[in-house]
Amino acid sequence: MIASVAFRNFKALRSTGLALSPFNLVIGPNGSGKTSLIQAVLQLHNLARLPLRQSGAETERRPEGAEITFRFSPPYDGLEASLGCVSDTMCDLLQVIPLSTGEGVDDWAGLRARLLTVRNYMFEHTAIAAPSSDRDYAELTLNGGNLATVLSARRIHHPEEFARLAAELFRMMPEYDEIEFVELPGRLIDLKLRLADTAEWVVAENLSQGTLYVLALLTLVFDPAPPAIICIEELDRGVHPRMLREMRDLLYRLSYPKETGSQKPPVQVIVTTHSPYLLDLFRDHPEEVVITEKHGAAARFTRLDQCADLTNVLSSGSLGDLWFSGVIGGVPEEK
Amino acid sequence: MKLAILSESPADEAAIAVLVEAVIGHKFTRVQSSLRARGWPSVAQVLPSIIRHLHFNTDADGLIVVVDSDDSVVHTAPHEAPEYYHPMCRMCQLRAIFRQTMKKLPPAHGRDRILRGVGVAVPAVEAWYLCGLEDSVTEANWIAGQTAAQPPYTRRQLKGRAYGTERPNLYQETEIAVREARRHARDTRRLEYDFPGFASLASELRAWPKVS
């Protein structure tokens, strides 16, 4: 979907860029631009909703104002999207520029339709565990707060997809064998899981953080109409290190659907993490790891597969340990 | 017989259990399920603690450890010479860790020491799964490639060829790993011939005293 993004003066991203893969794991110290990358994608999503405007119209711009430039993969590689910003954090202008080569030069409408589906998630277990309004079923909200309603609606409208989700949940967490929904006063819906051993029901507020996050992730993965791009911040939060392999595998189903026999269109995935255990899982796919670094006030991106002498570096330890050691970068500056 | 297996993933563990049963000729009881290491050098780091734990806190008869060689020096016949130790060979390193850890331990649970079974998959366990299916995938070919600085395949390619995708999920990986291990279990001679890193494990297992 997004082939590359280049930044100028956007927050700490003064002059940097990176090529994006179908799957992208972004690692780096706090304040190094991981979230800024996701915010840039969201700015593109937000501005794509509006009619295209001409540069310089209505808004006075600083010459040194922030600019973010996106290129896309086929069938939209004939277009470039440039975001102009009134400050180093707020973009208000989207220009779509046809390129001399590539497909889709005349298909901004098609690209726009895909960009409008972009979703960003920062799951919060307390929000996920709370009952949600029965009217809020269209798509999972940023913090996962309407999970019960979305899943309840999915069971009614997409029973096959719901059954696949439930089967995957029970495989990953064999302590449960049933999922059910409860209607509460005030048009609220709650969810509960049944313990396989005792047949007791566990309501959402008593489920572990990790269970709730896994449920939220499964809800995205088994979406009957997946978005073009999903961004997830802190994928590892609340999840046991050994469960991270399953989390990665779930997201790979989105990015590489054909490899699991799915006919769904691929979803570009951008996730951030601070977990060396999650990073360990990308030893064979260094091209999927983006390292953010901050030097002084400026941050920049590099890809792990661009690391000098990577083969020898990888021979000396696990990726997570190498990251912590500072060998591959992506660690806080120390003065 | 009560055994523990230390491996890098649940898929590897399931396949190794099948292979071990084929070599020892009977089923065994898993003492401590789900011992896991995060690849090399994590295995070497956690192994002494695992040996001590199994020795003192369980009635395990033996511990089986299987690791990938990755790009390290492959264990060859000269390494088997008495007192020989190659510091870059994972088989030599693992055996040394067993020796050094166990010689300090007093008897416990009615046994002097737990039995050792070490295997090294060259360059990765997926090569074992492809053994007999692709003639070019052998330990000898890998060593020849290393010598010529032209590896015949990468870990990633082996994954793609073994699982049909470079990004198998755990379910796919386990299913195929166990399927191929069962194929070898019918007759382990080809795997032992093509992969001395497995033959070493098999040899150690066969040398174990009979335990009721």
A87-111 pLDDT tens trace:
777 888 999 999 999 999 999 999 9
Average pLDDT, chain B: 94
Question: What gap in Å lies between CA A271 and CA A228, rounded to an integer?
Answer: 14
Mean pLDDT over the full length of chain A? 92
If pLDDT is split at 50, 70 and 90, which confidence band does B159 have? Answer: very high
A257 neighbourhood in chain B, CB within 8 Å: none
Looking at chain A, which residue has its C-alpha nearest residue B173? A249
What's the pLDDT score for residue B58? 95
Cα angle value B100/B106/B109 (rounded, 5°): 120
Strands A176-184 and A229-232, by their bridges, are unpaired
Question: CA-CA distance, A125 to A232, in Å (whole number)?
Answer: 14
Contacts of B72 in chain A (CB under 8 A): 315
Task: Tell me if A284 and B166 make a contact (CB, 8 A cut-off).
Answer: yes
Among A260, A285, A318, whose Cβ lies nearest the Cβ of B42?
A: A318
User: How crowded is the C-beta side of A138, counted as CA atoms within 13 Å?
Assistant: 5
CB distance B170–A246 less than 8 Å? yes
Residues of chain B positioned with their CB less than 8 A from the CB of A321: 42
Rg, C-alpha atoms of chain B = 17
Among A268, A282, A294, CA closest to A70: A268
Q: With CB atoms and an 8 Å threshold, state whether A284 touches B72.
A: no
Burial of A289 (0-12, 13-18, 19+ CB in 10 A): buried
**Which of A222, A215, A220, A219 lies closest to A262, judged by CA?**
A222
The closest of B15, B1, B94 to B51, measured between CA atoms, is: B94
Q: Write down the pLDDT at residue A312.
A: 82
Q: Which of B45, B155, B169 to mutate to test the interface with A (most CBs of A within 10 A)?
A: B169
- Subunit contact B167:A252, Cβ cutoff 8 A: yes
Q: What is the pLDDT along chain A (335 residues), one digit of tens a residue?
A: 999 999 999 988 999 999 999 999 999 999 889 999 999 999 999 999 988 865 554 555 556 788 999 999 999 999 999 999 887 778 889 999 999 999 999 999 999 999 999 999 999 999 999 999 999 888 999 999 999 999 999 999 999 999 999 999 999 999 999 999 999 999 999 999 999 999 999 999 999 999 999 999 999 999 999 999 999 999 999 999 999 999 999 999 999 999 888 899 999 999 999 999 999 999 999 999 999 999 888 999 999 999 888 888 887 788 999 999 998 999 998 87
Instruction: Check if the beta carbon of residue A202 is closer than 8 Å to that of residue A118.
Output: no
Q: What is the pLDDT of residue B150?
A: 94
- Measured in angstroms, the CA of B108 and the nearest CA of chain A are apart by 31
Tell me whether residues A280 and B39 touch, CB distance under 8 A: yes
Using CA atoms, how far apart are residues A155 and B63, in angstroms rounded to an integer? Answer: 46
Across the interface, of A171, A259, A311, the residue whose CB is closest to B71 is A311
Q: Is A58 left (phi over 0), alpha (psi -120 to 50) or beta?
A: left
* CA dist., res. A241 & res. A226, Å (int): 27
Quick one: DSSP state of residue A230? E
Whether residue B123 is preceded by a cis peptide bond, meaning omega within 30 degrees of 0, is: yes
CB contact under 8 A, A283 and B167: no
Mutate to test the interface with B, among A254, A287, A305, A318 (most CBs of B within 10 A): A318
Which residue of A lies nearest to B41 if distances are taken between CA atoms?
A317
pLDDT in tens, A36-73: 999 999 999 999 998 886 555 455 555 678 899 999 99
What global pTM score does this model have? 0.91
| Closest Cβ–Cβ partner in B39, B71, B170 for A318 | B39
State what percent of residues in chain A have pLDDT above 90. 80
A171 φ, ψ (degrees, to nearest 5): -70, -45
- Which amino acid, A251? L
Considering only the beta carbons, identify the residue of B40, B155, B169 that sits closest to A260: B169
Suggest the residue from A243, A249, A251, A285 to mutate for an interface test with chain B (most B CBs closer than 10 A): A249
Distance CA(B20)–CA(A303), nearest Å, equals 41
CB-CB neighbors (< 8 A) of B169 in chain A: 246, 249-250, 252-253, 260
**Residues from A in contact with B at Cβ < 8 Å:** 171, 242, 245-246, 249-250, 252-253, 256, 259-260, 277, 280, 283-285, 311, 314-318, 320-321
Please judge whether B159 and A284 are an interchain contact, meaning their C-beta atoms are less than 8 angstroms apart: yes
**CB-CB under 8 Å, B38 with A320:** yes
Half-sphere exposure of B134 (CA within 13 A, CB side): 18
Are the beta carbons of A245 and B9 separated by less than 8 Å? yes
Looking at the complex, report in whole angstroms how far the Cα of residue B39 sits from the nearest Cα belonging to chain A: 7
Å from B71 to nearest chain A CA? 7
Quote the tokens at residue A83: 């975001």
Best A259, A260, A314 residue to mutate vs chain B (most B CBs within 10 Å) = A259
Residue B50: alpha-carbon gap to chain centroid: 16
Across the interface, whether the CB atoms of B70 and A315 are under 8 A apart is answered yes
Q: Report chain B's terminal Cα–Cα distance, integer Å.
A: 6
- B118 — pLDDT class (breaks 50, 70, 90): very high
